[in-house]
Amino acid sequence: MGPSFLGTTGRFNGTEYLRARLLKSSNVNGSNATAEVERSLIGNYRLDTTISISTLPKYIYPHLEITKRAVSNDGTYIVYMINVSNDGNKTLGPVEVVDVLPEGTSFYSSTMRPTVQGRIVSWSLLALTVGARETITLTVRLEFLSQDPVNRVKAVAQYENRTILAEASAPEEVILPAPSYSYNVSTNFSSGPWIPPPSFNLSLNLTDCEKDIDEFYDSLDTVYDTPDNCAC
C-alpha cells in the first residue's frame, strides 16, 4: 500500500462548494496534520472517488525490510515466500532482490520473472513506494541434501546517493521419504475337528477337579480355601 491520498475524477454541471479546516497540526517532522473537508455539489454530476489510506512508516528514514520462509517441502520441491517491504519514509528504487540457493537445489519457478545464473536468482523492481510490499513465491528443486541447507536472500535499494540493504535467510530441514517395509506372512494350519492334546483331561467333572486341588495344596502342607469354581 502506498501513501494516503484522495482522488476524484468525473464531470458535473452545477455549483461546487468546498471548505477545509485544519483541526490539528505539529511542527515535528514526520507527523500528520488532521483536517476537516466539507464538499457540497449542486446540479447534475457523476464522480468516481478513490481513497487510499496507509499506516505511518515504521522508520522516519529510508529503510527496507525483507523476510523469507519456507511454506512447503515435499522432499522434491521446496516453496519459499519472499516479502520485500518499504517500511521507511522515502520511495526507494530501483530495488534488486538476490537469492542464493543452497547447494543441492536448483531454480524451478517463481511468480515474478527472474534472472537465473546457476544458483543465483535475482529480480528487479522499478520502485517501492512508502508502505508498499512485493511478494515473490519461489520454487526450487531438491537434488540432494547439503550440509548447509540454508536459503539466503538480500534486497538492495537506492535512494539518492545512498544504498539501502536488507538480508534474510530461511533454514529448511529437508523431509526425506519414509522407508518402506515389506512383510512375509506365513500361515501353517490344518482344518478339521478340534483335537485336544493328551495332557488335556476331559474325563474329570467339577467334583474331581476340586478333589485334585485339595490334594495338591495338602501336599504343600498349607491350608487354603477351596475355590467355589474351577476349570480343568
pLDDT in tens, 146-181: 777 788 999 999 898 899 999 998 876 544 444 544
Asked if 143 and 117 count as a contact pair (C-beta separation under 8 A), the reply is no
Chain position carrying cell 540493504: 165
3-state SS, residue 129? coil
Give pLDDT, residue 14: 79
Give pLDDT, residue 174: 43
Domain ranges of the chain: 5-52, 65-171
Q: Which residues of the chain have pLDDT under 70?
A: 1-8, 24-35, 47, 49-55, 172-232
Sequence-distant (≥ 6) Cβ neighbours of residue 170 within 8 angstroms: 68, 69, 70, 80, 150, 151, 153
Q: Is 102 exposed, middle or buried (0-12, 13-18, 19+ CB in 10 A)?
A: buried
Asked if 54 and 132 count as a contact pair (C-beta separation under 8 A), the reply is no
Give pLDDT, residue 185: 46
Q: For 65-171, which CATH class? A: mainly beta
Query: What does the DSSP 8-state code read for residue 92?
Result: B
Give pLDDT, residue 116: 96
Q: Model pTM greater than 0.85?
A: no
Give pLDDT, residue 145: 78
3-state SS, residue 128? strand
Give pLDDT, residue 188: 52
150-159: strand order across its sheet: 115-117, 120-125, 95-100, 150-159, 162-171
Q: How far is CA 52 from the centre of its chain?
A: 29
What's the first-to-final CA gap in the chain, in angstroms? 86
Give CA–CA dist 107/162, Å, rounded.
Answer: 31
ω into 94 cis (within 30 of 0): yes
Q: Is 178 exposed, middle or buried (0-12, 13-18, 19+ CB in 10 A)?
A: exposed
Strand duo 5-24 + 34-52: pairing: antiparallel
Phi, psi of 207 (to 5 degrees): -65, -45
Give pLDDT, residue 172: 60
Give CA–CA dist 156/128, Å, rounded.
Answer: 12
Give pLDDT, residue 196: 57
Joined together, the cell numbers standing for residue 117 give 545464473
